[in-house]
Structure 1
Amino acid sequence: MSKAVLDINDKPSSLQLVTLSFQHMFAMFGATILVPKLVGLSPAIALLTSGIATIVFLLITQFKVPAYLGSSFAFIAPILVAAGGLDGDNMSVNPGNAMIGAMAVGVTYGIVSLIIWKTGYRWLMKLLPPIVVAPVIMVIGLGLAGTAVDMAMNIPVEKFDEATQQTITVSEYSFKHFSAALVTLFSAIIFTVYFKNILSAMPILLGLIIGYTYSCFIGIVDFTAIKEASWFAMPEFLIPGIDYEFKITSTILLAMVPIVLVTISEHIGHQLVLGKVVGRNYIKDPGLHRSIFADGLGTFISAFIGGPPKTTYGENIGVLAITRVYSVYVIMGAAVIAIIFSFVGKAMALIQTIPTAVLGGISILLFGIIASSGLRMLVENNIDFGNNRNLVISSVILVIGIGGAAFEFTEAFKIEGMALAAIIGVLLNLILPGRDKNVGDIYENE
């Protein structure tokens, strides 16, 4: 580990604080606004809640962990399932259902953190070994592949249906829009592969900027929303009991809560990587129970006011590694800037004008990286596919998850897709003979 330019509790100068905080805000910006755009939620509320959740995280972890919390990609498909999909205006049909599910996720994090506090964390490592978590991560990325490609290539077109004598909306291929998606995609790839400085830590944002610029040039951007927006605008809050009926159902819980099996594993991985970057052992101090509880509370607060579930961001860990600035003051500054930015109406209107094709282009890379990260986990943990046990577990998870299998006992009790795949993966790992009894030992000396 290289010597820190600013260590965890070092205070930067005023100029450093502003510039370095903006750097972290931009690193998380592209991914954080992309999630709500894909599921029909407000990008402004996603920014606001990312800032709030980050501050909550810093407080609970006693200002020892310089992590930024942004929108979680793992919950894109579950949110759409819980909310009943999107309507024609690209808004969630029942966004309140997704918020109830996300609050349940936050509560689940709290329960897990309490158990870890009382019993330690080794049981969790044994419950979620790489052979279960890695294929589910691959399902998250590959399950969304069709969505990304459709967004990149096709546009909605209204046509008159002779059979029904009604106007219907169909998807139609557009070369112009697909070219915008490809420009966005390859721009992000170039920044990811060919740049080794701070620019390599924010390829999503830079890809979106270049793709948007190209889209303006070819005339597929409608600036009306920007012209009509005011400079100050309140984010679109979704408050239970006011904006929607707070009614918990098994369908909502089964769509959202099982994904915790994956996101907690992601959280642990981020804590380990972050610890190596800054030279700390975060599994032991402030403790995995504190960081998981903080992540869960951030998600609960976010969902309570209408934001998507949260997770610690690898993009910002990358910024820490590149700059060697680990100061929690900088992370706090980024959170404050995100909160302020969420109230700038013109900026939020600008985000709304991003063409779907541009979002599709960046999604091709993002969803592919998610799937590849699962594959990388298998490789890094030396998973032997000559072992039929490993072959069976991974195969079943992949086909059930990507194929969209569903278990529907009644209309109100349904579990499907990646949630079902995650649960079956855990059960297979516990039931099938030959389970590695030493899983989790590698964390003892981290």
Structure 2
Amino acid sequence: MGSIQALRGTRDILPEEIGYWQKVESVAHDILSRAAYQEIRTPIFEQTSLFERGIGEATDVVGKEMYTFKDRGNRSITLRPEGTAGVVRAFIEHGLAAQGGVQRLWYGGPMFRYERPQAGRQRQFHQIGVEVLGSPSPRADTEVIAIATQILQTLGLKNLHLNLNSIGDSEDRQNYREALIAYLTPFKSELDPDSQDRLTRNPLRILDSKDERTQEILQAAPSILDYLNPDSKTRFEQVQQQLTSLGIPYEVNPRLVRGLDYYTHTVFEIQSDDLGAQATVCAGGRYDGLVAQLGGPDTPAVGWAIGLERLILLLQQLQPVTPENIDFYVVSRGEPAEAQALVLAQTLRQRGFSVELDLSGSAFGKQFKRADRSGAAACFILGDAEAETQTVQLKWLATGKQEAIAQSSLISLTESLRQQIADSRAGVTGGSR
């Protein structure tokens, strides 16, 4: 019998890669906290009806990509394919609207869609997203775009492009939908099979088609910007003016639509030149009708999600993330010494140092080699002699400088050790590794 492997479309994030994930999560947490966004954590699975009602039964996500199953109570359960519907459900269920004002929320975690795996796209994938609930102001649209841009730029991404569009209100969209169907119907037999299927079911999604002939046909298609009512146009102009005032460049793309039915007015994508075909790293927009659609009070809202797999691919291309070096590596051999080494390591950790304790019990030579490879600034050594005299040898690995220290004096030497580590890494006393 062969070994059990991860399912197709899922992957393990190993320690050698985890530094990128931790950096993204740390930067996002810091920037979102400073902008007064509060974290919310919702369940990974929900009632299937939440996504059918919220995302739309005619969408590809609901129609083709959801992981749906019956539980033991014969209820239809779905692993969340995106984060917004669950956040809105929690917003309604816990009466957050009654708290008044604007709710700025953010989330992170795994999502699930059954689609063909490829670089940066998995069946279990991860997102960080924000939702601003309770503000109809175009400034909310601009704020979330600005924060997404700040996160990506802080992470070091440079070749970014903001694509922007307005899909208007529900009446604008219905008028455009009819115009688009009328234009495309004579070409139906020339459209790709997916677009033929979408023609009456979800025609705006045809604008996303990657088929060359379909794109040729769309060249002369009507633009949704011509179907915006005066209020929708004014709103879109305000968002553009605000982005300009923040120094955020953008390009209006009338073909940009989002794949989920709940969007209204502003929609956007932030793309990178460095990702090839899978260029979008952040996408979102306004969804003023979703809260009411799911049974809550009429609540305007806007948000976005960043796909972490694609973002990590970019970061790996752009910059190496090296693991943080530990402060001390503890080498010991012999039963009394190993017992004292355990106490020593834990004492140092409690004083704020990062410490790796060699647990192998192997010969000193092998332990010293591991200490050299560890990246530690210094090594503590305990053998039979040190155990008997209650001392420890401290060896600075860059220079080989070594001294004996009484174990009882280590705590009083904490600040001195901390400074020596800093000096060693800066190449002042111990040299740098």
Report the TM-score, using the length of structure 2 for normalisation.
0.22
More strand by share: 2
**Bigger relative contact order (CA 8 A; separation at least 6):** 1
More helix by share: 1
Report the TM-score, using the length of structure 1 for normalisation.
0.22
Q: Which has the larger radius of gyration?
A: 2
